[in-house]
Structure 1
Amino acid sequence: MTERPTTNWRRGIAEEAAELAAGTLDPGCACMVDLFPDALLSATDAVLDAFEAELPTLAVGDDEQVFAVVERVVLALNAVNEAHDECAFETDEREQLCLYIDEALTEHGVDVAALTASRGLGRHELTDQWRDW
């Protein structure tokens, strides 16, 4: 399965911690732990767990079902963002989450380009109608 954004964020935290421990990073420049607190990572992973659990149940070609799954994951991520003062996901994180949703659907047989085109959307607009982050 495609790599979760949270895996990437945790790797960044670990790399930064290693640099701090080695003395190769000024502590004043360290920011990963502040950007990605455990509560945010755990909440995001819980949302992605639920999303991933739904993927095997998708009926390829059932656009309404696929859009319903996308809506649920996006609304749940909106709630995570709200719980973190509307600043949980900045531009890079938003792009990673959207790419992850697209790639996860693709891995489960969904033609995302055709899916979005069926509603007059570009592929990159898959999450837009529900996304607040």
Structure 2
Amino acid sequence: MPKRPTDVWREHLAEEAAAVAAGTLAPEDAYSGALFPVALLTATDDVLAAFETDVAALGASPADDDVLGVVERVVLELNRVHEAHDEAAYETEERELLCAYIDDSLVAAGVDVAALTERQGLGRHEITDRWRDW
């Protein structure tokens, strides 16, 4: 499985905390804690864990509808997390990481995402678009 976006966000938090502790970053300039509160990280991890389970259950040569069902579920759950955080959970960089993670996870499981999206009349990176609010 590819690296979760939440792992990347936790790394940002740790780097920022280290910089504050070292005195190379003023505490008032530390913003990652506001962007990535524990509740957001936990909720997102829960959604991604369920997604990983769903992807693993797809098996070899899954039907397009099965793959799209997995994508729909993860996107709708991420929508709920986003809404629960005043629709400010995922900004541009976070959205890009989440979409790349979904795509990379499917590819790692053997899904030919490019072929699937082509069969669905979608662009290569549009697999989440029909359900995504974030």
For the criterion TM > 0.5, the same-fold answer is yes
Q: Please state whether the residue corresponding to 1:120 is helix, strand or coil.
A: coil
Q: What's the TM-score, normalizing by structure 1?
A: 0.98
The Cα of 1:51 is off from its aligned counterpart by 0.3
Q: Please state whether the residue corresponding to 2:24 is helix, strand or coil.
A: coil
> Is structure 2 residue 108 aligned with structure 1 residue 98?
no
The Cα of 1:84 is off from its aligned counterpart by 0.2
Distance 1:38 1:28 in 2: 19
The Cα of 1:26 is off from its aligned counterpart by 1.2
The corresponding residue for 2:109 is 108
The corresponding residue for 2:118 is 117
Q: Please state whether the residue corresponding to 1:123 is helix, strand or coil.
A: coil
Distance 1:47 1:7 in 2: 14
The Cα of 1:128 is off from its aligned counterpart by 0.1
Give a deviation string over 1:72-119, Cα, whole Å, max 9, x none.
Answer: 000000000000000100000000000000000000000000111111
Q: Please state whether the residue corresponding to 2:130 is helix, strand or coil.
A: coil
Q: What's the TM-score, normalizing by structure 2?
A: 0.97
**Number of residues of Structure 1 aligned to a counterpart in Structure 2:** 133
> Is structure 2 residue 90 aligned with structure 1 residue 86?
no
RMSD of aligned Cα (Å): 0.7
Which letter does structure 1 place at the counterpart of 2:18? A
Which letter does structure 2 place at the counterpart of 1:53? T
The Cα of 1:61 is off from its aligned counterpart by 3.9
Q: Please state whether the residue corresponding to 2:111 is helix, strand or coil.
A: coil
The corresponding residue for 2:3 is 3
Distance 1:107 1:67 in 2: 16
Percent of aligned pairs with the same amino acid: 62
Distance 1:76 1:61 in 2: 22
Which letter does structure 2 place at the counterpart of 1:125? E
